[in-house]
Copies of this chain bind each other. A is one copy, B any other.
């Protein structure tokens, strides 16, 4: 059968991996897809790099628009990243009637509604398995594997950099700044790690998953995003004493009034499988009404794991590119006219449990004052540690875990606790999920 011609935009880490795997496993992939899938044109600003990766076997250009307007190209693979030129190229490819495969989570989380709407009108596919959790087929699981279910919530370790840092902080008892340097030296963190450590990358991915899980539009601008750069190693240690691990989770939960969409460091019970996902690995836990909990685990980044997802999309698109759109899986899992405008709830309306740490004067009645404030706010305490004051110190730590409450109420109670003269400085608050 006729080969499928693919145009590759960007031959960096993932682009190079895609080229390599598609070539190495060409036979295996054709045996599945029913026809060869070959990259026939590559665009990259660095033509020398492109030449060294491809060995000059394909047409090279430094003008990506030459690929998206080449009539010989059936599918455009966008691996440039970012919202700028990538957006123009994807929109142009769609306009030219080309199917698109992309690993660009930032682009989809921010401009996805526009992109999928254009693709819908033009009758082309935009596939994005590689945009979330690298090589784990989580998009396919959510869009196709769990179609019987009402998905209730999902929680994912979807950023390898931060999971590596948190694993190291716990293992070695080191502070954030020191582990970040180590991660940068090992290539687990970028020179400018902001998008990873501040939770933005995880929020992009959580936004995409929330859309396909619940049938809602992309609402990245409404997501609550809190990273790990302010996380204190002492809280990791206290959490451990209480039987919890701290992970940066991307969480999406459907409630009657709207959707919770949030990324933040989260205490989770150490016994849970997902709590034991260490290093740069990713995992997504999905709770749905019929199947219950399912978990998907694997490498969330890297050349070949991400290429695995890009190529799986290429096979899917190859299979369906001549089929009429009604036979295809809808881009966002739900039929385009069935997307619901369910709002993302403000963080103050989120319902969760909390870990609170406070520095208090070591004298009688302090605990009574604090627990009274919580009781008055209807916040019940699940566990509490009061440390003995160290020799010669007048203050000590209280750590407590609360039951579920609305964040607004928790914040109000924390404000009143901080106002107590016996409480020194601010209360450290971390969210906690039993999963």
Contact = CB atoms under 8 A, between A and B. Distances in A.
Interface stretch (A187-195, A198-206, A234-242, A300-308): A300-308
Interface of A: 17, 21-22, 24-25, 28-34, 129, 134-137, 140-141, 144-150, 215, 273, 276-277, 288-299, 304-305, 307-312, 315-316, 319-320, 322-323, 326-330, 333-335, 338
A-B pairs, top 3 by smallest CB distance, nearest first, are A137-B145, A148-B311, A294-B298
A135 B290 contact: yes
Contacts of A305: 290-292
Contacts of A333: 32
A135 B312 contact: no
Nearest to A139: B145
Stoichiometry, copies per complex:
2
A144 B313 CA distance: 9
A312 B273 contact: no
Contact of A140 (B29, B140, B311, B322): B140
Contacts of A137: 140-141, 144-146, 294
A22 B148 CA distance: 7
A327 B321 CA distance: 8
Identify the interface centre among A22, A273, A338: most chain B CB within 10 Å of its CB. Answer: A273
Given A288-B308, A292-B305, 9 more contacts: A21-B290, A32-B147, A32-B330, A134-B291, A135-B292, A292-B298, A294-B299, A319-B327, A319-B328
Given A150-B25, A319-B328, A291 B273 contact: no
A148 B297 contact: no
Contact of A304 (B32, B291, B296, B311): B291
